[in-house]
Structures are given as C-alpha cells and as structure tokens.
C-alpha cells in the first residue's frame, strides 16, 4: 500500500498474505473480514512507539479476505532514502550480506561482501564479492567476484593491509554448501569449516587463488569457525609492531561453548598462527583495535542475555593472551556483529558501530571514545532495521561506514556512507 495520510480510511483485498509497511508514530487500527460471509473476523490495533516504521502482516486463512476501516492516527514521518552499494536482488544474487571495508596504502577503498545466490541463508551458494573506490567513496567500480567455489560457502570476509608491502590479505572461511551450521557444530556434517587466505598485490584489482591455512589456524577440537567478519589490523607500535591481526571465533567440540580468538602473522602474511582465546565463553564475532602503546582491545558479540551489552577484553602481548571479559554498559546490543576501529597512528580515538538496541537489529549507531572506551559520544546513522557493519578512516580523516540497512528488514542491501569526524567534536 502506498503512503497514506493521518486519519485516512483505506480498503483492500488480499489473495494470499499481505504486509503493510506503515511509517508513522501513532496508532494503526485495522478491521479484517472474510469475504465469503462478509462477517468481521478480527480487529487489529497496533501501537507504534518508534517514529520510524511499523509492520502489519495479515494472512487470511483459506479464503480471500478484505481489510476495511483502515485508519492511522499520529504523525507521519518521511522515509530516509537509501543508496545501496550492494543491493539485494541485483547482479544475480538474492542477498548481499556481511560487509567489510579497508583503505589500501594507495588510498583505495575496498568494500567486500558475501553474495548469496539463492536465498538469504547463511549456507548454500555464497561468493565473496568486491567493489573499489579511488575517490574516497564518491564513485565505485562494478561488482567483481573474488572467490566462487560453485555451490559452496565462501564467506566471512576479514581483510587487512600490510603497510610494508602494500599487499592486501583477505582471510575467509569455507564450508560445503550442503552443510548447515548446526550439522558442523554437532559434527554430523560431510565436511567442516576451513580457513583460507587470498592476496592482492595490486590494490584489490586482482586476487590470488584461495590458499588453505586451516592446519595452522584452527584446533582439532574446534567445530564452527568464523573469520571477522570485518577488517583486521596491523599493530603500529610497541614490541609487536607490524603484526597482522585477524579477529575470529570458534565453537568447542563436545561443550559447544562459544569463544572469540585471534589469528596473526609476523612475517607479512606468509604464515598465519593461532593467537589467544578469550578466558570466558558466550562470545563469538569480534573486532580488534589497537590502543596507545600497542595494547589491543577485543570487542565481542555477547550471548549472555543477563547483560545486553558488548563484551570487551584487552591484551598486553600482541593478542597471545587476553584479560578477563567485562561488559561495556554503554554499548548495548541485540546479539549482533559490531565493528571497532582506532585512529592511526596515535590510536587515541576509538570508534565503534553496531545496531544499538537491546532486543532488535535496528538503530545503527556510531560512537567515539577518546579515553579507551571509558566514555562514548554517539551519533545515530540510521534508526531503522540494521545489522552488520564495518568502518574505515578515510584520507580526509572522516569515517567511512559500510552497513546492512533496509526499510523493511536489515538485509535489503549494504549502504556506504561518509560521516564527518567533526560532528563528534
């Protein structure tokens, strides 16, 4: 149904199911009747508390139904236009998900995503795709496919740039498209999750074949495994300067406990090793940032619903070990991925982005801290449905945000947006 005015009355007939998307702050009243006997079936009243949007879904049982006395009371709000960098339902893909973004040594922005061929499912035929920008995100290249392994899953992009060589490393995970996550966790799948790396030596224009590194990055008693999904980092200062770090997570066999961990390279991406694992479980997808002095902070998706906030841990030894986990009460979350980044080269500012809501994937929010996460200022980037994201510092000093957004649900596509750092000052 098209946009309606406050107090309007509308009628419609539904052959099957119907979803009405209403953008309003107020009350929606709807009477539904069975067209076969013309008797009222039920009356729906929806109280919309968010000044963004609400959904009314009606599915008639067996017979065609009609909606009458369709009224809205309240204040209408305008839809914010969304310009998708990766739009679901285009380029031969049902859904684009799992964004990651980095800036190369030459200043090129590389935006990565999963291209899911046939559905929005986490399994099936999934490719890794990329778009590039050489003008700070003003224009972008056409979509290119980096890794396509037929009907199998090539996903969880986690890119990192080596400052010395300029090479870009894309860490990723693979599994058979016929193996579901639950089967991999229960060890009833035909195969398992495997870890791979791809390399670009020309600013993301071309990529090497995927090289498997599972043996050095995954323990034998780990079942599920994921790289990122988001950017990795290279340590700027201290004893572990130049170490490449990729945030990861895994599930233990038998216990089925969730943990976050990192993998690292001390030889500019030639070899990769397992770093430290968090001391406590109930965390998985994570993002890593450097603090002053070369210390590291790990910010994690949290499954402990007694505290609906992000979990945090710190390392003083380049990610080989991690402190006990603590909660950040400001960084609320609905169980979803988030992205953490520090400004280079001083690492004095921390940036964090996630859907800042305790229960729903919505309200994409960017936060800034100048005291290592003790206090945060915030800016809502998009108040509607939103999920995974990644952030990058542009050559101008501003922030590039790559986000899953939509007006109907979070997976309508992936949007790139630049945010001025001055808006936090």
DSSP at 81: P
Is residue 4 situated within a structural domain? no
Last residue of some domain: 76, 108, 129? Answer: 76
Question: Do 31 and 143 share a domain, yes or no?
Answer: no
pLDDT at 411 over 80: yes
Of residues 37 and 334, more confidence is placed in 334
pLDDT at 423: 74
Is residue 321 situated within a structural domain? yes
pLDDT at 73 over 60: no
Closest CA to 244 of 298, 209, 202, 290: 290
- Average the pLDDT over 412-419 and give the result: 98
pLDDT at 4: 45
Question: Do 37 and 162 share a domain, yes or no?
Answer: no
Angstrom distance (rounded) from CA 392 to CA 370? 17
pLDDT at 280 over 60: yes
- Average the pLDDT over 75-85 and give the result: 78
pLDDT at 3: 43
pLDDT at 80: 78
Angstrom distance (rounded) from CA 106 to CA 103? 8
Angstrom distance (rounded) from CA 257 to CA 124? 25
Specify whether the CB–CB gap between 299 and 320 falls below 8 A: no
Is residue 1 situated within a structural domain? no
Of residues 137 and 59, more confidence is placed in 137
pLDDT at 345: 80
Question: Do 152 and 182 share a domain, yes or no?
Answer: yes
pLDDT at 77: 58
pLDDT at 305 over 60: yes
pLDDT at 189 over 90: yes
pLDDT at 42: 47
CATH of the domain at 297: 2.120.10.10
Question: Do 45 and 101 share a domain, yes or no?
Answer: no
Strand duo 39-48 + 258-265: pairing: unpaired
pLDDT at 210: 99
Angstrom distance (rounded) from CA 147 to CA 171? 12
pLDDT at 67: 53
pLDDT at 291 over 80: yes
Of residues 10 and 130, more confidence is placed in 130
DSSP for 217-229? HS-TTEEEEEE-S
Question: Do 246 and 202 share a domain, yes or no?
Answer: yes
Is residue 5 situated within a structural domain? no
Angstrom distance (rounded) from CA 161 to CA 237? 16
Asked which of 1-5, 110-114, 321-325 is least confident by mean pLDDT, the reply is: 1-5
pLDDT at 421: 86
pLDDT confidence bin for 75, thresholds 50/70/90:
low
pLDDT confidence bin for 29, thresholds 50/70/90:
low
Question: Do 34 and 100 share a domain, yes or no?
Answer: no
**3-class state of residue 292 by DSSP:** helix
Angstrom distance (rounded) from CA 99 to CA 103? 14
- Average the pLDDT over 254-278 and give the result: 98
Last residue of some domain: 26, 46, 76? Answer: 76
Domain count for the chain, please give it.
Answer: 2
Is residue 194 situated within a structural domain? yes
Question: Do 52 and 102 share a domain, yes or no?
Answer: no
Q: Strand pairing partners for 102? A: 110
pLDDT at 84 over 80: yes
Question: Do 275 and 415 share a domain, yes or no?
Answer: yes
pLDDT at 51: 46
pLDDT at 81: 86
What integer best gives the mean pLDDT of the chain?
Answer: 88
- Average the pLDDT over 94-104 and give the result: 99
- Average the pLDDT over 109-131 and give the result: 98
pLDDT at 34 over 80: no
pLDDT at 76: 54
- Average the pLDDT over 187-196 and give the result: 98
- The C-alpha angle with vertex 399 and arms to 395 and 404, in degrees rounded to 5, equals 130
Question: Do 303 and 194 share a domain, yes or no?
Answer: yes
Is residue 383 situated within a structural domain? yes
CA distances from 151 to 45, 123, 193, 315 (A): 45, 10, 15, 39
pLDDT confidence bin for 215, thresholds 50/70/90:
very high
Q: How many CB atoms lie within 10 A of CB 213?
A: 18
pLDDT at 41: 47
Q: Which domain holds residue 58?
A: 10-76
Question: Do 95 and 207 share a domain, yes or no?
Answer: yes
pLDDT at 6: 46
Is residue 235 situated within a structural domain? yes
Last residue of some domain: 29, 54, 76? Answer: 76
- Average the pLDDT over 402-419 and give the result: 96
Q: Strand pairing partners for 347? A: none
262-273 tens-digit pLDDT: 999 999 999 999
Question: Do 148 and 61 share a domain, yes or no?
Answer: no
Question: Do 71 and 94 share a domain, yes or no?
Answer: no
10-23 tens-digit pLDDT: 554 444 444 444 44
Order of strands across the sheet with 377-393?
84-87, 413-419, 399-405, 377-393, 362-369, 350-355, 339-342
Is residue 2 situated within a structural domain? no
């Amino acid at each position: 149904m098209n946009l309606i005015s406050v107090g309007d009355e509308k009628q419609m007939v539904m052959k099957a199911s119907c979803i009405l998307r209403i953008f309003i702050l107020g009350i929606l009243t709807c009477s539904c009747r069975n067209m076969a006997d013309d008797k009222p079936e039920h009356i729906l009243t929806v109280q919309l508390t968010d000044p963004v949007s609400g959904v009314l879904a009606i599915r008639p049982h067996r017979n065609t139904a009609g909606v009458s006395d369709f009224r809205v009371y309240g204040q209408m709000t305008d839809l914010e236009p969304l310009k998708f960098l990766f739009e679901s339902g285009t380029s031969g893909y049902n859904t684009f998900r799992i964004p990651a973004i980095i800036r190369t040594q030459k200043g090129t922005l590389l935006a990565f995503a999963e291209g899911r061929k046939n559905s929005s499912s986490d399994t099936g035929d999934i490719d890794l795709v990329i778009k590039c920008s050489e003008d700070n995100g003003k224009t972008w290249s056409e979509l290119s496919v980096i890794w396509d392994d037929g009907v199998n899953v090539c996903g969880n992009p986690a890119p990192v740039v080596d400052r010395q060589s300029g090479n870009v490393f894309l860490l990723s995970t693979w599994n058979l498209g016929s193996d579901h996550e639950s089967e991999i966790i229960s060890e009833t799948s035909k195969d398992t999750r495997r870890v791979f790396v791809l390399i670009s030596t020309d600013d993301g224009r071309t990529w090497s074949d995927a090289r498997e590194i599972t043996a050095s990055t995954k323990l034998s008693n780990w079942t599920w495994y994921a790289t990122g999904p988001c950017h990795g980092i290279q340590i700027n200062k201290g004893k572990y300067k130049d170490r490449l770090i990729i945030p990861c997570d895994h599930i233990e066999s038998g216990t089925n406990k969730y943990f976050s961990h990192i993998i690292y390279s001390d030889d500019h991406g030639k070899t990769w090793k397992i770093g430290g694992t968090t001391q406590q479980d109930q965390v998985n997808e994570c993002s890593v940032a450097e603090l002053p002095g070369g210390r590291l902070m790990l910010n994690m998706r949290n499954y402990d619903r007694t505290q609906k906030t992000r979990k945090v841990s710190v390392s003083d030894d380049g990610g080989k070990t991690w402190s006990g986990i603590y909660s950040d009460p400001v960084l609320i979350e609905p169980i979803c991925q988030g992205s953490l980044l520090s400004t280079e080269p001083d690492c004095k500012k921390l940036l964090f982005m996630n859907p800042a809501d305790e229960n729903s994937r919505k309200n994409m929010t960017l936060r800034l801290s100048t005291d290592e996460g003790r206090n945060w200022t915030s800016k809502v980037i998009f108040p509607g449905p939103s999920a995974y994201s990644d952030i990058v510092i542009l050559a101008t000093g501003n922030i590039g945000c790559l986000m899953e957004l939509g007006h109907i649900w979070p997976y309508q596509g992936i949007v790139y947006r630049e945010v001025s750092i001055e808006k936090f000052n």
